Each structure stands twice: as structure tokens, then as C-alpha cells.
Amino acid sequence: MEGSSSKYLITFLLILVAISSCINSGMAGKANRLSTEFIRTSCKSTIYPSLCFSSLSAHANSIQTSPQLLASTALNVTLSSAQSTSSLMVRLSKTRGMSPRVAVAMTDCVEELSDSVDELRQSIAEMGNLKGSNFKLMINDIQTWVSAALTDESTCTDGFQGNSMNGKVKTTVRGKIVKVAQLTSNALALINRYAAFHD
Ligand SMILES: *[C@@H]1O[C@H](CO)[C@@H](O)[C@H](O)[C@H]1NC(C)=O
């Protein structure tokens, strides 16, 4: 008798656990859908909305519906892409047998990408320090640094224009830097949006 009533109790508890985990995952799913919609809507204010959405939607759980977390995540994603492109450029710039013109463009680009990585890092650090009283001043600094990073990246891609460029360098390198510049432009748009919300 006792054995069968404890069996009932266990069954009852298992059902309870199952029900509550259903409710929990339902709520998590709803929060995730809400965040995904928030990201999609916010990305519409950027110049490259589909890149914006594809680069940020994987972080929906941590972004939730916060314009600040959206902007900082966009900055972090941009930094990691800029860093890997920057190291690729450093490796490629040591390649032998490049034409002088390509070699110069590569050397300049390594410098410009390294500057843009520094500017993005500085912005991320400041993003973590944003305080009520100094908000305007700090967000202004961030906007200035991210704009400077975008200028550096654009100067780099400009160096790879023209017909004398080797086909492989042009497609692999230029394509990657263009993507970093597009991510940076999107991050800047999301920072501007966040700053406007805060007014
Ligand atoms: C972005 O990166 C910084 C530095 O690694 C980190 O402290 C911060 O939490 C990250 N922000 C988000 C939203 O992931």
C-alpha cells in the first residue's frame, strides 16, 4: 500500500516538473521571439539591415529588448570581425612577390585596421562606463571613435581600388574589409539610435 502511494507521489511530481518546464520554455521562447522582432525592427534603421540582423540575431537571448545591449553587442561583433581581418592583413602583408602598389596598399591597410581596432576597443570600454550625468559627453566620444574607425576602414578599401590589383587579393581582402566597414556602419547607426532614445 505504502509502495503504491509513493509511486503515485513520484508520478505526480514528475508531471509537475514536466508542466513547469513547459511553461518555462514557452516563456523563454516568447522572450526570444520578442527580442528577435526588436532586433529586426532596430536593424531597419541601419544601411545594411540584413547583415545587421544576421550578425545579431544569434545574441537575442542576451540582447533582450535593450537598445544599449543591442548597441554594445553590435560593437563587440564588429570588433571581433575587425580583429580577425586585421591579423589576416598582417599575415598577407608579408607575402612575397606583390606589386609595389599592392604592397603599399597592404602596409597602409594594416596600419588603418589596427587604428580602427583601437578605436572600437576604446568605444567598447566607454560603453561599459556610461553614466547618467556624463551620458551625453561619453556617447559623443563613442560616436566620434566609431566614425573614425569607419573612416579608417573605408580608406583601406579605397587603397584596393583600380585594375592593377591582383584578383585574389582584391576579392579576399577587399571583401572582408568591406564587411567590417558595413558592420561598423551598422553599429554606429544602432549607437545613434540608442543615444536618441536616451534623450
Ligand atoms: C562586450 O565586450 C565587453 C568586453 O569584452 C564585455 O565586457 C561586454 O559585456 C560585452 N557586451 C555585450 C553586450 O556582450
**Predicted confidence (pLDDT) per residue in 46-82, tens digit:** 999 999 999 999 999 999 999 999 999 999 999 999 9
Locate 31 and state its grid cell: 522572450
Residue 3 is assigned to a structural domain of this protein: no
Taking the C-alpha atoms of residue 149 and residue 87, their distance in angstroms, rounded to an integer, is 16
Domain total of the chain: 1
Model confidence pTM above 0.95: no
**CATH code (residue 177):** 1.20.140.40
Q: Which domain holds residue 98?
A: 9-196
Residue carrying the nine cell digits 521571439:
33
Q: Is 68 in the pocket of ligand 1 (CB under 6 A)?
A: no
Residue 1 is assigned to a structural domain of this protein: no
- Of 6-10, 24-28, 61-65, 92-96, which range is least confident? 24-28
Residue 24 is assigned to a structural domain of this protein: yes
Q: Is 72 in the pocket of ligand 1 (CB under 6 A)?
A: yes
CB-based burial label for 129 (10 Å; 0-12, 13-18, 19+): exposed
Residue 82 is assigned to a structural domain of this protein: yes
Q: Is 123 in the pocket of ligand 1 (CB under 6 A)?
A: no
Residue 53 is assigned to a structural domain of this protein: yes
Residue 2 is assigned to a structural domain of this protein: no
Using pLDDT thresholds of 50, 70 and 90, give the confidence band for residue 8.
Answer: confident
